[in-house]
Amino acid sequence: LKQLDHPGAEFGNFVEHVPDPIPPSFTGPIVPPTLTTVETLDAYFEVPVDTGNGTKVDFVWLQNGEPIHFGSRINGKLEMGMASLSFKYVLPSDMGHYVCCVTTEHGRAETQSAELVVETTKNLITDTQLKEPKEYNDHAGLQAVQDLEAMLNAPRPDNFQEDGPAASPTIVIQPKPVGSCVEDETVSFRLQYEPSNDPNLVVHW
């Protein structure tokens, strides 16, 4: 007991070993370095990170130097050696340069920037059914009316009989989908039906 109360010299110089501080570091670049996508689609960035031996780890993503606030549309994670930034859908305001920063009590690390390019749907021509110029529509509409009047007013032989359609009208070409649209965007649908020369036929949308 006396020896336990008064340890020998071999215990007198004991000093607890404290590991050297290891600051955080990124072990690779942000992937992809440049991402081009379309408005309303999703987007995703990730970058490998070593948080060192700090116990208080914090991370943040910056857009054009400003911190990003996470929510239901934009979310960031730091887990299993990977920092990620995901967009459920992108908006034009998301365009810019993105940087990830990791901080511990031993230091701070920052990535090189990655770029997000967002193309708006108003600048995309996704289907041939987009409305033609007004001059073309006016000319085509006038020509169609003139052709119909010429057919109805054409001279008829003495033995001409007014025959109705042989069968119920049918749609030959269905309208094509135009994809996603935005407010105030002009779109049009077209179909082709038979018989096309029945003056009593009425089309309802």
pLDDT in tens, 99-146: 999 999 999 999 999 999 999 876 555 444 444 455 555 566 677 767
CATH of domain 20-123: 2.60.40.10
Q: What are phi and psi of 143, to 5 degrees?
A: -65, -40
What average pLDDT score do residues 45-62 get?
Answer: 96
| 66 pLDDT more than 90 | yes
**What pLDDT score was predicted for residue 168?**
76
Please name the residues in contact with 56: beta carbons below 8 A apart, sequence gap of 6 or more: 104, 105
Q: Which amino acid is at 76?
A: G
Exposed e or buried b per residue across 58-89, where buried means at least 16 C-beta atoms within 10 angstroms of its C-beta: ebbbbbeeeebeeeeebebebeeeebbbebee
| 51 pLDDT more than 90 | yes
Q: pTM value? A: 0.54
**What pLDDT score was predicted for residue 194?**
74
**What pLDDT score was predicted for residue 133?**
53
What average pLDDT score do residues 65-94 get?
Answer: 95
| 190 pLDDT more than 70 | yes
| 70 pLDDT more than 90 | yes
| 14 pLDDT more than 70 | no
Angle made by CA atoms 82, 83, 84, in degrees to the nearest 5: 115
User: Contact 97/115 with Cβ under 8 angstroms?
Assistant: yes
Helices (H), 6-95: 9-12
Burial zone of 33 (CB within 10 Å; 0-12 exposed, 13-18 middle, 19+ buried): exposed
- Residue-wise pLDDT tens digits, 20-50: 999 999 999 999 999 999 999 999 999 999 9
SS3 of the chain: helix, strand, coil, percent, to 5: 15, 30, 55
> Which H/E stretch holds residue 135?
helix 134-152
| 55 pLDDT more than 80 | yes
**What pLDDT score was predicted for residue 26?**
97
Domain boundaries, the chain: 20-123, 125-148+169-177+187-198
What average pLDDT score do residues 8-15 get?
Answer: 59
Q: How many CA atoms lie within 13 A of 72 on its CB side?
A: 0
- Residue-wise pLDDT tens digits, 148-182: 667 666 665 555 555 444 567 877 677 777 777 77
